[in-house]
Amino acid sequence: MSNYPVDMSVTPDVKAFFDPDTNTISYVVKDPGSNACAIVDSVMDIDYAAGRITYGHADEIIAWITANGLKLEWIIETHVHADHLSAAPYIQGKLGGKIGIGDKIMVVQNTFGKIFNEGTEFQRDGSQFDALFKDGDSYQIGGMTAFAIYTPGHTPACMVHVMGNAAFVGDTLFMPDGGSARADFPGGDAGVLYDSIQKVLTLPDDMRLFMCHDYGPNGRDIQWETTVGDEKTHNIHVGGGKTRDDFIKFRTERDKQLGMPRLIIPSLQVNMRAGEVPTDKDGRPMLKVPVNGL
Ligand SMILES: [Fe+2]
């Protein structure tokens, strides 16, 4: 981890917004030294049965940023989510900021460009995003330096974003009693996910970790914040010295039992376009369903 610019002396303010429809947690992260902020993993609301998209959740975040007089500099996607739609372009239209994701988005765009039979107008070079991060790339949020770490496994383009003493883990890890995310989507790999988790766990023990999802296992209240030290000791899938082989065996068997996320079909089409809804030949917003394609 020594090659990454870790700086535990910087403590950003982290405000969480929980979306009960998809169990996603979005974050506004504020530079302690200025009014600059970033959003991590926003949510656009969809009533899929009705084909209706709304922005109540995003508007709540926008209102909070505005009320606090903050300047939005970055809209970060930890990965191409399969269970909710990103509101990044909507938020950018209201508040500005650059939309950033890992450069392995190109792999994801190639995979799902084929599955959704997208034409040549769908670019597979990540150009829908304003910034594509490689492992260790840093960027500024006001005076605070943030950086991104490659953490593939759940998807090829997953990255953990570290901002001062706070890390946003996406779907690399869940809370200790939730374990880890599935690794069976196209491009996913349980062994690679294990290796990525180990990399995250080499961050300092008191690094704050913020989850993208929580499902309140065993009836507990929703939680989203833990630490590297806690995950190392208590994570039910990787903590307490569980081996790579243990993890691969467990994860593979578990994933076979999981159904597809309710919103995977619209989520992938929108999120691989940086949150833009695709349009048909007449320019109308339109989503596809590849029959037996996933
Ligand atoms: Fe995900």
Q: Mean pLDDT, consecutive 10-residue segments, the chain of 294 residues?
A: 85 98 97 98 97 97 98 98 97 98 97 94 96 98 98 97 98 97 94 97 97 96 98 94 93 95 96 96 95 90
| Count helices and strands in the chain by DSSP H and E runs | 7, 14
Gap between the Cα atoms of 230 and 213, Å rounded: 17
Q: pLDDT at position 16, please? A: 98
Distance CA(68)–CA(29), nearest Å, equals: 12
Distance 82 CA to ligand 1 centre (A): 5
How would you class 21 by CB atoms within 10 Å of its CB: exposed for 0-12, middle for 13-18, buried for 19 or more? middle
- Residues by chain with Cβ below 5 Å of ion ligand 1: 81, 171
What pLDDT score does 2 carry?
53
* 177 class by beta-carbon count within 10 Å (0-12 exposed, 13-18 middle, 19+ buried): middle
**Structure tokens given for 251:** 């994860």
Please compute, for residue 71, the number of CA atoms within 13 A of its CA located in the half-sphere on the CB side.
11
pTM for the full predicted model: 0.96
Cα of 95 from ligand 1 centre, angstroms: 25
In three-state secondary structure terms, 248 is helix
Distance 261 CA to ligand 1 centre (A): 10
Q: How far is the CA of 80 from the centre of ligand 1 (A)?
A: 7
Q: Both tokens of residue 117?
A: 């039979």
Contact 186, 226 (CB under 8 A): no
Half-sphere exposure of 285 (CA within 13 A, CB side): 10
What stretches of 45-184 adopt beta strand conformation (E)?
45-47, 52-54, 71-76, 98-102, 131-133, 138-141, 144-150, 159-163, 166-168
Cα separation, 194 vs 21, whole angstroms: 28
